[in-house]
Each structure stands twice: as structure tokens, then as C-alpha cells.
Amino acid sequence: MWSLKPLISMSFKNLAVMAAFSLFIFYFILLASLFTMVDASKFLSILKSERFYFSIKISFITAFITTVISVIVAVPAAYALSRTNFRFKPAVDLFLELPLIISPIALGALLLLFFNTGAGKLIQNNFISFVYEVPGIIIAQFVTSAGIATRLIKAAIDEISPRYEFVARTLGASDFKAFSTITLPLAKNGIIAAAVLTFAKSIGEFGATVTLAGAMPMKTETLPIAIYLRLSNADIEGAAVFILTLLALGFTVTLLTRAFAKVRHG
């Protein structure tokens, strides 16, 4: 007969460790199940396929461009949010949470709707075409990651005493010189960590991308879209290979981020 007595008699610490270990087992079983779906020869043949190579390439290129744009926008934005008081700052701060409080598919739909307005059509017809095109992947990734990148970089800048800049300015540095020679180098590891996470989030972005750029093989087929397309065609083995590839990338990025965080905090 089942009894709760052994559980109740366990110390809280042991119960907590058990909960953590249960989570690990849960995820581990999920991951292990992937390996039952694919054999080595199939795995290698997918890795060598042109579609796999295309997915990796398009994912890396778009994620890289998104990361660069996000960091370029996020660094000054984070600095402004951390160091200055300006009108509507609370509203700007709130909107940075958009990627966290709205699902990616809704963000993608927002973009799609925008490109159907007059202003959106003007951009589409005269500058860059986003809908069902590769630039659409980039803007979809940007919209889901820029706010988070800004939030992470702001946290890094918040940790640096503004007095370093005050001192630099009394020593003759302009506002920009104080920022570029003092705050920026001190926030370097935080910015790199934010960039790595932005890259990882962009690589794994699906909802906004599929809504705006579509799921077109060999055109807008990023890694998550490739998984979606393979599952749609009941190609379970193919999907498993792409999932494993995403996982390997995800773990690498997480470990890199932790390494930077460790450097940052000594």
C-alpha cells in the first residue's frame, strides 16, 4: 500500500534536490527518446543534405544579422534606460517586455498586419520586401529579441556605478568619451552575453518567422521551420536530426553565456 510517510519524513533539502533531479530526468528522457528515432546512417545522410546545409546557413546568417542590429540598437537604448530620465521612459520600459508577454506568433501577425498598411506597403514596394522573404526572417527575429537584448544589456550597465563616468567627465572626457572608454569596456561581458543569447533566441525563433516569412523550403527554411516542415510531412527522423542540431547549438550558447557571466563576476 502507498504511503506518504517516507516523503513527509524527508528533510526539505532532500525534497528540493529530488524535485530538481526529477526535472533533469524528465528532460533527459525527452532527449534520449530522440535517439530512438534515428540511426547513424540516416543521421549522416541528413547532415550531408543540401536542405540541411541551407537551413543551417540561413539560420546562422539571419541570426547573425539580427544579433548585430539588436546589439547596435540595444546598447544605446539600454544606456538611456539605465542612466537617464526621459519622458515616456516607463512606457518604453514596458514595451521592452513585449516579446515576453505576447506570443511570437502574435508579434509576427503584428508585423504582417503592419506591412499591409499604407506605410508598410510603401516600405515593401520602395525599399525592402519583408513578407515571405528572407528580410522577413530578420525583422521577425529582431522583434522577438531586441527587447530582451536591451533588458540584458541594461542589467549589465546598471551594475556599473555611474560615478565612474562622473569621474571620467571631471577628468575631461565628453559624455560619449566617458561612455566609450569607461562604461562600454566595463559592460563588455554583459553585452557579449546578451549578444550570444540574442543569437540563440534568433536561431530558435519560429512563431513570428513562420507568420511573416512563411515556411518555404530552401527559401525561408530556418532550423525551426525545417523541423515544422519535416513534421508536417511525417518525416520524424528528419525532424529529430534538426531538433538535435538545435539542441547542440542551444547548449553551446548556454555554456558560452555562463562562461562570460563567470568572467564578469570573477
d(CA 57, CA 198) in angstroms, rounded, equals: 17
CB of 161 to another protein, least distance (A): 7
Contact with another protein (CB under 8 A): which of 182, 191, 229, 244?
182
d(CA 71, CA 194) in angstroms, rounded, equals: 8
Burial group, residue 81, by CB count within 10 angstroms (0-12, 13-18, 19+):
buried
Q: Does 264 bind another protein (CB under 8 A)?
A: no
Q: What is the dihedral of CA 225, 227, 233, 235, to 10 degrees?
A: 160
Contact with another protein (CB under 8 A): which of 3, 171, 234, 265?
171
Q: Does 172 bind another protein (CB under 8 A)?
A: yes
Q: Does 177 bind another protein (CB under 8 A)?
A: yes
| Phi, psi angles (nearest 5°) of residue 164 | -60, -45
CB of 86 to another protein, least distance (A): 15
Enumerate the H helices of the chain as residue ranges.
5-9, 12-35, 40-47, 50-83, 89-95, 98-101, 104-114, 118-126, 134-158, 163-170, 175-178, 184-186, 188-204, 207-212, 223-232, 236-265
Between 51 and 177, CB nearer to another protein: 177
Candidates 132-140, 167-175, 212-220, 221-229 — which segment interacts with another protein by CB under 8 A? Answer: 167-175
Q: Does 246 bind another protein (CB under 8 A)?
A: no
Between 54 and 164, CB nearer to another protein: 164
Residues that contact another protein, how many (by CB under 8 A)? 18
Task: Kindly list the residues in this chain that would bind another protein in the complex (CB under 8 A).
Answer: 161, 163-164, 166-175, 177, 181-182, 185-186
